A = this chain, B = another copy of it.
Amino acid sequence: MSQKIIIVGAGLTGSLLSIFLARRGFNVEIYERRADMRTANISAGKSINLALSVRGIHALKQVGLDAAILKHAIPMLGRMIHLENGETSLQPYGKNENEYINSVSRKDLNVVLMNEAEKFPNVTFHFNMRCTGMNLQTGEATFFNELTQTNHSVIGDTVIGSDGSASAIRMEFLKSGFFNFSQQYENYGYKELTIPASENKGFRIEKNALHIWPRGSYMMIALPNEDGDFTCTLFMPFKDGNKNLAQLKTIGNVTEFFNEVFADAVPNMPTLLDDFFANPTGNLLTVKCFPWHINDKAILLGDAAHAVVPFFGQGMNCCFEDCYNFDLLVEKHGNNWLTIFEEFGKLRKENTDAIADLAVENFVEMRDLVANPTFMLKKKADVLLEEKFPEYFISKYAMVTFHRLPYAVAKQRGQIQDKILMELCSKITTIEELNLENAISKIKDEFRRNGIEEKIQLND
């Protein structure tokens, strides 16, 4: 087990994976493009906070870090919907108060993972090392040290590319020939904004919720942070539609727009204009590719293999589930990398495809449907059906978020459930009118027609 594993990227996926592999006795060298976020004053990149749920927690538990992470997390019990008229309503995420998601700081989480990894004598981090490529035959990876401006190279028994959605390792796969690949950008951008804490670190709006201002073709959301502030994100078309980012050029444009459509939020956003013009506009990207490995020399993992849009809150959870599944295969096959890589692809590909698709679909739900009366009835139907028929019915959101059954199964069952329930709910005005027996019987029929088992097989 004196094999050397090179991990490219010390983000959430690379850092957690290094712990799993260190526990198995491998020598792990992690190369990270950025400076050490524990000492340098840099952001953790991408979104500031994330929604940690069951899949992510389960993986963290395997390495004994779940409690440490959850101690600093803020439970979000549901979606707090802010309508244009200023009304708000809470749509619970789960069937009871034990089902919630956790707002965590990307940076805090990454730091906990890096600190834990460094406790192992067989893990070494190398910062400021930008990957410039790798030799897929020999396992030699090359790096440019941004501080010393020098080139480095290192040979591993295998190389793991956990270097994110713009992966440098994946670029080598692309050059190598037979490699199915797609990257698809949404016609939407996003801006991170802030609702700062009030005095004494107080929360200006409901602390234990994920806030949504749904506006049809665009939306704003806000997630709470431990210090009392909220990270808001405005998602909006770049240039399509009635309202778009291209229109928001001047202080006047932005002020007018926010006053018009997010009136109840504006009083809580004193730094709005500074944030809006200082922060970059982010992209929303889905990456799918396959195979994820080249022989036994390199494998892509996490966002490098399957970047998703953020609308199901599953990006990190999916990546952590990758790490957990990868570790199970290492337990089974030791250092037989080819077998591990092949089985990992077979196990994960259909599931990461499924969550990628679900995440794109959920954007419509968040920005539009949550304010729709039929959808609100459907949410209530979800709860009632799960209470009454727990062996046969779990809502799509819950299957993805509060259980660990494969994403592909959650997608297949969830889409059938949602279609039938939206149809039934479109014909009623109160949830009491819904015949639950009839609904579950229609759903079971459709499961059968699609070759799906009626009973849910949970693996919790």
Task: Show the binding face of A for B, using Cβ within 8 Å.
Answer: 171, 174-175, 177-185, 283
Shortest C-beta distance, A323 to chain B (Å), equals 27
Shortest C-beta distance, A168 to chain B (Å), equals 10
A177 to B182: give the CA distance in the assembly, Å: 13
Which one, B178, B183, B283, contacts A283 given CB within 8 A? B178
B185 touches A183 (CB 8 A): no
Which one, B177, B178, B183, B283, contacts A181 given CB within 8 A? B183
A174 to B172: give the CA distance in the assembly, Å: 12
Which one, B175, B178, B182, contacts A182 given CB within 8 A? B182
A246 to B430: give the CA distance in the assembly, Å: 61
A183 to B183: give the CA distance in the assembly, Å: 10
A174 touches B177 (CB 8 A): no
A99 to B227: give the CA distance in the assembly, Å: 75
B185 touches A283 (CB 8 A): no
A182 touches B184 (CB 8 A): yes
Given A179-B183, A182-B184; 14 other pairs, CB 8 A cutoff: A171-B174, A171-B175, A174-B174, A174-B183, A177-B283, A178-B283, A179-B185, A180-B183, A180-B184, A180-B185, A181-B181, A181-B182, A181-B183, A182-B182
18 pairs from A and B in contact (CB 8 Å cutoff): A171-B174, A171-B175, A174-B174, A174-B183, A177-B283, A178-B185, A178-B283, A179-B183, A179-B185, A180-B183, A180-B184, A180-B185, A181-B181, A181-B182, A181-B183, A182-B182, A182-B183, A182-B184
A181 to B166: give the CA distance in the assembly, Å: 13
**Residues of B contacting A185 in the complex (Cβ-Cβ under 8 angstroms):** 178-180
**Residues of B contacting A177 in the complex (Cβ-Cβ under 8 angstroms):** 283
A235 to B107: give the CA distance in the assembly, Å: 51
**Residues of B contacting A174 in the complex (Cβ-Cβ under 8 angstroms):** 171, 174, 183
In this complex, what residue of B is CB-closest to A184?
B180
In this complex, what residue of B is CB-closest to A189?
B178
**Residues of B contacting A180 in the complex (Cβ-Cβ under 8 angstroms):** 183-185
Interface centre among A174, A179, A180, A184 (most CB of B within 10 A): A180
A175 to B166: give the CA distance in the assembly, Å: 8
